[in-house]
Amino acid sequence: MDSVGTMLKGVASLVSRVRKLDPGHLRLGTQAPQSLAAQLDNQVSFESPRAISCTNENDPAKHEEKHEGLHYNLPLQDVKTVFPHGLPPRYAMQMKTFNEACLMVRKPALELLHYLKNTNFAHPAIRYVLYGEKGTGKTLSLCHIIHFCAKQDWLILHIPDAHLWVKNCRDLLQSTYNKQRFDQPLEASVWLKNFKTTNERFLSQIKIQEKYVWNKRESIEKGSSLGEVVEQGITRVRNATDAVGIVLKELKRQSSLGIFRLLVAVDGVNALWGRTTLKREDKSPIAPEELALIHNLRKMVRNDWNGGAIVLTLSQTGSLFKPRNACLPQELLGKEGFDALDPFIPIQVANYSPKEFESCIQYYMENSWLQHEKAHTEEGKKELLFLSNGNPGQLERLCAYL
């Protein structure tokens, strides 16, 4: 693969890093060095057309600069365990149509991978914030990172979209633990189910270190495993929010001990500090702090623990009461959020570079997704580039009906 990879470098120069939230296409393209002559390009394109936009390197840990822009395959089994709830809906549709999950390796993710590989677990957890325009690939970059951490056997705490917790909630119960706060049983139980699918093997290993009392008759003793807390949350939906709170607290406490490494991945983290659309019975609005789930999540995102990393994504798409063109951390998080997250490493996710764009188009052509005759011509590609402006989300939507 390496020799082919180098050969492809010339061809792969077109590989664009599109980490686009293309539904279903995460492509990892390997970029071959451009040093190869054009003749080799022609040869290569006949021998292994798939290799131009795809690479065989399926382990995110080994992705390097040279893989930039190429697509790598995620085994479907992994996808079911690692991402029960994390993929954007259009990407999930694409995955279903092509029967494969391919992700593109892009620079922001490579940068983050590099930082994660060199983290010092004795220091407090560092926060990384992925930001960028709408549709550039923040969520899929996050998914790439999560896959990497899953392969490295970290414990993954993935909240697919924090905005879902602050809007459209059917039942809000007053919390049993703290009278001022509100519980969201449905969202909490759904999240617990998905958490269980992702982290099966850790649940029996981690023991809780405190006694928790659910109600007069049920309590959980010190020393029992985290799996039991999760089960309790799933079966007794009323206590699901409290179960989530316990899980978060215990994980935070125990990650410093070094038994496991914790990755906190939150998509749409600006929901934690904005406003909610939920109202009490007397129609007065609820602030995010009054939701128990949000309160616990905020504690999780503070960097007063060590032994892991926190990767966050801002998102304007699901955000409430924010203008459409707001994409910078200051605008989306607001003063409160920005201060709370203050020392963080911002990573910008941009539109496709020409190489990544080419790679994306190549991937589509390999799967014969572009059926329109003119889409295969040079002018067609130029038109697509112009119409989408290199924006991964727009390109995906355009190609869907071509």
Partner 1 sequence: MMMKGGNKVLARSLMTQTLEAVKRKQFEKFHAAASEEQANIERNPYTIFHQALKNCEPVIGLAPILKGGRFYQVPVPLSDRRRRFLAMKWMITECREKKHRRMLMPEKLSKELLEAFHNQGPVVKRKHDLHKMAEANRALAHYRWW
Site residues, partner 1 (CB under 8 A): 93, 97-99, 368, 371-372, 400-401
> Toward partner 1, which CB reaches closer, 270 or 394?
394
> Toward partner 1, which CB reaches closer, 371 or 389?
371
Q: Identify any residues that bridge with 306 across adjacent strands, giving them in sequence order.
A: 124
> Toward partner 1, which CB reaches closer, 357 or 369?
369
Distance, CA of 149 to chain centre: 11
CA quadruple 23, 28, 32, 34: dihedral sign: positive
- Among 43, 175, 19, CA closest to 107: 19
> Toward partner 1, which CB reaches closer, 215 or 371?
371
CB 10 within 8 A of CB 41: yes
CB of 400 to partner 1, least distance (A): 4
DSSP 121: T
> Toward partner 1, which CB reaches closer, 99 or 120?
99
CB of 396 to partner 1, least distance (A): 11
CB of 99 to partner 1, least distance (A): 6
> Toward partner 1, which CB reaches closer, 201 or 374?
374
CB of 373 to partner 1, least distance (A): 8
CB of 24 to partner 1, least distance (A): 11
> Toward partner 1, which CB reaches closer, 93 or 234?
93
CB of 370 to partner 1, least distance (A): 10
CB of 98 to partner 1, least distance (A): 8
